[in-house]
Structure 1
Amino acid sequence: MDTKAMYKLSYGLFVCTAVRGDKKNGCITNTAIQVASDPNRISIAINKANYTHDMIKDTGLCNISVLSTEASFDILKHFGFQSGRDVDKFAPDFPADSYAIAENGIPYIKLGTNAYFSLKVEKEVDLGSHTLFICEPTEMVVLSDVSSCTYEYYQNNIKPKPQPVGTTPKGETIWKCLICGYEYVGEEMPDDFICPICKHGKDDFEKIIR
């Protein structure tokens, strides 16, 4: 199969946030979609490796903030390139004016977003690497009229461009994700490596020597 066909699928980008006890957390996802209109239902698929996944399973609640074309790479890096198991993503050094608390007590992101949804889980489907949560929207708010950020827009306009071939020091080895274009630098990639953006594993990376 040609895995590059995955590039042809259209995705949005979202910050999925959850709260469990005193812990606030969030991760990047590309799988929030409306799956029914009467009654209105939204599905999200969250990788089981994400700390946010466990929080949603335990509480049955989350928020989805829709990233816009004004989103910065820093927001995607903050919520997508590190785990809530290791860091507090809502620590005091995360600007307080970049998020607010919705009526369900869960943060939503105000910076670089155009809407948010508060969701209540109705059903779960085990998909192997991911859990599919079928959710009832309990709150829906438009934050701006700026266009939503798609994967294509992220690749072309937000993601930092890789260095041209030949300029990477010492001929470093790059492993490039065929799904989203994320690049891992290192001679060997761990077998259990998960892409921080699209959550695909090592099998979906190709090795590039620069």
Structure 2
Amino acid sequence: MTADLRWAAPPAPARPSLDRPTIVSTALAVADADGLAALSMPRLARELGTAPMSLYRHVPGKEALVDLVLDEALGAPPELAGRSLRAGCERWATALRDVLAEHPWAVPLMAGDRTAGPAECGWAEALLAHAVDRGRPLPEAVEVLHLVHGYVRGAAALAGDRLPTAHDLERSGRSDGLPVLARLLGGAAVRGPGGVEPLFDSGLRRTLDAVEPAP
């Protein structure tokens, strides 16, 4: 006897179609929540409610996935038009600092031997074009990029939990051997022309002095 479909249980809702943007955005959420080490194809498949093999139709493996996730995390660079060379570099640097603070797992990737993706190249293009538009020859514009990008990346690498706390140094008995670092971790103030300023701002100000003197 044929079942009466009018009284059958409703069918399970259709699963949204799987596509690369959905995979990448979900992978980004995993990396932000639990770090890049937690990102795997099985974990991602569980998050998406699908089988791991279905992911490989869209992404060949974790290495390619990480490249896509980094590009998604970086996004587009800030608009620099209408700013002086120094002001544009400052805007670019603080915007990149904010991105890396939001996605700290991205910092070591940007210093590795991997090929830069479209988003990284977009950030580089923005600063290079700004320096050239402000009258710097291309070789000097490259120097500006290396200087500012290197500072932001280095500052990001030392931020967050990369350094021990002052309590860690004291508890381990190493404060005497690292006296300057102990002062810094203990909250030593950094003074700039306008008074006390955050450490990142202090270092950026000195970096930008090499690009263009402050007005």
Q: Give the TM-score normalised by the residue count of structure 1.
A: 0.24
Higher strand share: 1
Relative contact order (alpha carbons < 8 A, sep ≥ 6): 1 or 2 greater?
1
Higher helix share: 2
Q: Give the TM-score normalised by the residue count of structure 2.
A: 0.23
